[in-house]
Amino acid sequence: MDLLLYFILPIGLLAIGIPVYVILMLTALAAVSTHPDLPWQSLQTVVFGALDSFPLLAIPLFVLAGDIMGQGGLAKRLIAWVMSMIGGVRGSLALTAVGSSTMFGAMSGSAVGCIAAIGRILYPSLRGGGYSMPFSGGLIAATGAIDVLIPPSIPMIIYGIAGQQSVPALFLAGVLPGIMLALVAAGYVMVYAKIRMVPLTDPARWINFLQSTRDASWSLGAPVVILGGIYGGVFTPTEAAGVAVVYAMLVSRYVYHEMTWADLWKVTRSSMYLVSQVMIIVAAAGLYAWLVTTSGAPQRLVAHVQTLGLPLWQLLIAFNVLLLVVGSLVEPPAAILILTPLFLPVVQAAGIDPIHFGIIITMNLAIGMFTPPFGLNLFAVNALFRVPLQSLYKGVLPLLLLYLGVLMLITYIPWFSLAPLALLR
């Protein structure tokens, strides 16, 4: 009964196109109706209690900071700085897309925000520089997923809240996996450019590098302030998000002079719509998670998995397959809030480190964001740059296979996730 109520019913509603927050609320109502012993008066407290979280405040702040950086000149100068280092290399434009997305991830944490900020500048340049439409669109969609792993990461914040894990520890554990994704994407770009004989760009020159470094110094200072403040013990991730907003606002307005107060209001209003969608899902998922926990379903799931006697490698494969499918259908915040209460007890019973599992679930959902046919990044690129979905499917396939290879390494070699934590300790 619990399997039908808490898993099959939501999947069925999702398949017919019902919004995620409505699915979670309907599932919660169905659970309350079938369990009359549950106290109705507690539902309101649970829904609002899900939003009453100080770490959760980091999400709207990081979203706003990323939007300001994308439209206030910080992203543009960051791209110019990366390009000044690798100009003259075959494939330098595409390598700039990989490097800029990785750097932007250290300032924002939103994959769609990265696609909008980096893609708006680089996609036209890629098309004009000899790259095909499938490759250009697929690269922008796939490199946006790197942003999910490079700290600060919004999905990691949500996992930390849902799984009661340290957000700074999750941030640190995501560094090596994020860099590995960037490296395999860069390797693919260089091979593609060599095979297709993509035209060379202007060679890198010291004078250009020094000039772009001076212009981008404030952009490069953002990740130093954000991550340095967190790991230096100056402020928490939530406070770092607030500092990032103020930093981006002041630099855009008074240093680069590319944003007026009227522009800032427009950006804030646009961010507000995105944040409201996330918060509605968080509130509904809080009720769903509470009902799942009080029903005892996780304990029964743990007992069932233990009776199967699956080896650890098979259990991890099953998690990966399920997470990839869910990630291609559901936004990462919703997927994490739904699955963490169910999976984490199983994971802990199997002896898997919760921080390591947080990286596994985040990477799966990041890859799912550009997995055909319904990955969120694919629709973002389609809407922003009018790239047909069929072309995007073709363009992301090589990167999807490479990312899955990295996922297997991360899954079965916990060192990649946990070594930075051990080094810090």
pLDDT for 413 equals: 93
Task: Report the number of distinct structural domains present in the chain.
Answer: 1
Is residue 258 included in any domain, yes or no?
yes
pTM score, two decimals? 0.82
State the average pLDDT for the chain.
Answer: 82
Mean pLDDT of 398-422: 92
| Region 26-55 average pLDDT | 72
Distance of alpha carbon 314 from alpha carbon 320, whole angstroms? 10
- Residue 298 or 48, more confident: 48
Alpha helices in 129-260 (DSSP H): 133-143, 146-149, 154-163, 167-173, 175-196, 206-215, 217-231, 237-250
Task: Determine, yes or no, domain membership for 231.
Answer: yes
**Is residue 144 situated within a structural domain?**
yes
pLDDT at 385 over 70: yes
Residue of 30, 121, 40 lying closest to 81 (CA atoms):
121
pLDDT of 1 above 60? no
**Is 27 inside any structural domain?**
no
Q: What is the pLDDT of residue 401?
A: 94
Whether 11 maps to a domain, the answer reads: no
Q: Please determine, for residue 301, whether its predicted confidence score (pLDDT) is greater than 70.
A: no
Helix (H, G, I), strand (E, B) or coil at 397: helix
In a domain, 15, yes or no: no
d(CA 222, CA 61): 14
Q: Contact, 255 vs 265, CB < 8 A?
A: no
Domain span at 50:
42-424
Which of 355-376 are b and which e, b meaning 16 or more Cβ less than 10 Å from the residue's Cβ? bbbbbbbbbbbbbbbbbeeebb
The residue type found at 229 is G
Determine, yes or no, domain membership for 17: no
Pick 3 or 287 by higher pLDDT.
287
- The tokens describing 320, both together, are 């990966």
CB-CB contact of 378 with 385 (8 Å): no
3-state SS, residue 351 = coil
The answer on pLDDT for 7 being more than 70 is no
In a domain, 380, yes or no: yes
Give the pLDDT confidence score for residue 281 in this predicted structure. Answer: 75
